[in-house]
Chain A
Amino acid sequence: MNQEMIFAGFGGQGVMLMGQILAYAGMMEGQQVSWFPAYGPEMRGGTANCSVIIGDEAVGTPIVTEPQVVVAMNLPSLDKFEPHLAAGGILLINSSLIERPAKRSDVKALLVPCNDIAKELGNPKVANMVMVGAIVAASGVVKIESVLQVLAKKIFKNKPEVMQLNEQAIRRGMACIS
């Protein structure tokens, strides 16, 4: 079974990196993975999104059209991808920037105040890491240990001083999902 996910937000929110971290963590666990960006001029300041597939089956198309998980970091992303979410899927909403609730009642909507938590932690840049923690807790698609390993070994290999803050952000995000 493969988990198909879409990560969306505006350019600069780090949604591409969120997807890559998850894909990398899946790969480290020996799962089949793919990461596919919607690329184009709209990536600069407009909406950005990427498809991530993780699971035990060979990946066919890397482009996700009926996701089981949608991560919306801003309102346009929620408007765009909520309708495509598979019934019973997980909808993660960045409630710091999105005021409306989910419209669908056949999905599991979860609110994560990413930017507020990041601000509490003293660095607005880690809002995406808060969401990474929430995704892991909500979907179980990869283990938290794998994510931390990816951050330590790949993403922040040359910046070990930021690891602690990012781990804190991830753990706060996990705590949002009960």
Chain B
Amino acid sequence: MSEKILMKGNEAIGEAAVVAGCRHYFGYPITPQSELIEYMAKRLPQVDGVFLQAESEVAAINMVYGAASAGCRVMTSSSSPGISLKQEGISYIAGSQLPCVIVNVQRGGPGLGSIQPGQADYFQATKGGGHGDYRNIVLAPNSVQEMADITIEAFDLADKWRNAVMILGDGALGQMMEPVEFKESSSKPVEKSWAATGRRGRAKPNIVNSLYLQPDLMEKHNHVLQEKYAKIQAEETRWEALNTEDAEVIVVAYGITSRIAMTAINKARANGVKVGLFRPISLWPFPSQPLAELAKTAKAFVVFEMSAGQMVEDVRLAVNGAKPVSFHGRTGGMLPTPKELYEKIISVANGEGGK
């Protein structure tokens, strides 16, 4: 397929997974990601894949755990409350070092929350979420095309690092339609000599496990994980910087919020304000280094999120007090308007936002 088609973000993730060679999907319906599970239900049988609607998000992530243990490319998706339910399985996946792709089409929270777009699961996605010391690679697209491209890349990264990759979208990206083009995946299947496939002539059994009853061995395993995470931080950090070279004000935003911010930034630029956008694409590993570099040239930072202020903490750690970092957020499923972001940019540019 190279023709452009108009697709919802949720559907684009589904098609991209198929392009990436994913033939197993386990999920449970929840708004606003249901188009994705519906897409997989329709699409996977056409490519001799396995679609299974689980009895719960808990069961779905454990089916993912089983399928990943068995050595295949596998995906699940949900939205905020459902992702909370998956955290137990995600921790086991981290402990057992299993590759898989998990999609969170975020909505407003906490609790049952709202069904409109949110970004309040940033902490949960990037700081662990489940129990134990672990990290998921977290990628945040901001267009339907990027949702497709990132999904394909996510499967490669998962296999490369034997790690869960979470695609952190939101209801707006999931529901909106934009043109999308699916390029062939260039990735080659990765040999998974560790997988539980049945011995099939192998002398010794393969065991997929996260249990270490001896604490010294558990610590040793943790060291292995931390070494891996350090390498991922060194190699897989992704971001986009637009108009930041001469910018006095740097807006930091990801996902749909970065799109709204771009509209506000363009208007501010047109009015002579030197403002640029720094957009983290990998939320973990977080692009701290390039932000620290920008702190040398910019005068102030302002973070826009659909949360009460989560990513802003990572921005402040990166900027490390060198320049003021202010924040503007909306919560509960409310999207900020370009107008309110524009006004915030202007106030920061005028030196009023340095709190």
Contacts and interface: CB of A to CB of B under 8 A. Distances in A.
A and B touch in the complex (CB under 8 A): yes
A39 B178 contact: no
B338 A36 contact: no
Given A23-B177, A36-B176, A65 B339 contact: yes
Contact of A65 (B31, B177, B266, B337): B337
A136 to B, nearest CB: 17
Interface residues of B, number: 23
B60 to A, nearest CB: 23
B339 A36 contact: no
B263 interface: yes
Given A23-B6, A27-B6, A33 B259 contact: no
A60 B260 contact: yes
Interface in B88-124: 115-116
B4 interface: yes
B6 A24 contact: yes
Nearest to A24: B6
A60 B262 contact: yes
Interface string B256-271: 1001101100100000
Given A27-B6, A39-B115, A59 B339 contact: no
A34 B262 contact: no
A83 to B, nearest CB: 15
Most interface-central of A23, A60, A61, A65 (chain B CB within 10 A): A61
A40 B113 CA distance: 13
Contacts of B266: 60
A62 B176 contact: yes
Nearest to A40: B115
A15 B337 CA distance: 23
B171 interface: yes
Given A23-B6, A27-B4, A59 B335 contact: no
Most interface-central of A27, A33, A39, A62 (chain B CB within 10 A): A62
Nearest to B333: A40
A20 interface: yes
Nearest to A150: B6
Contacts of B172: 36, 62-63
Interface in B4-33: 4, 6, 31-32
B6 A61 contact: no
B351 interface: no
Contacts of B263: 60-61
A4 to B, nearest CB: 10
Interface in A1-60: 20, 23-24, 27, 33-37, 39-41, 59-60
Closest 6 A-B residue pairs measured CB to CB? A60-B263, A35-B177, A61-B260, A60-B262, A36-B176, A61-B263
11 contacts: A35-B176, A35-B177, A36-B176, A39-B31, A60-B338, A61-B259, A62-B178, A62-B256, A63-B172, A63-B260, A63-B337
Given A20-B177, A27-B4, A59-B178, 18 more contacts: A23-B177, A27-B6, A34-B176, A34-B177, A35-B6, A36-B176, A39-B171, A40-B115, A40-B116, A60-B263, A60-B266, A60-B338, A61-B262, A61-B263, A62-B176, A63-B260, A63-B337, A65-B337
Interface of A: 20, 23-24, 27, 33-37, 39-41, 59-63, 65
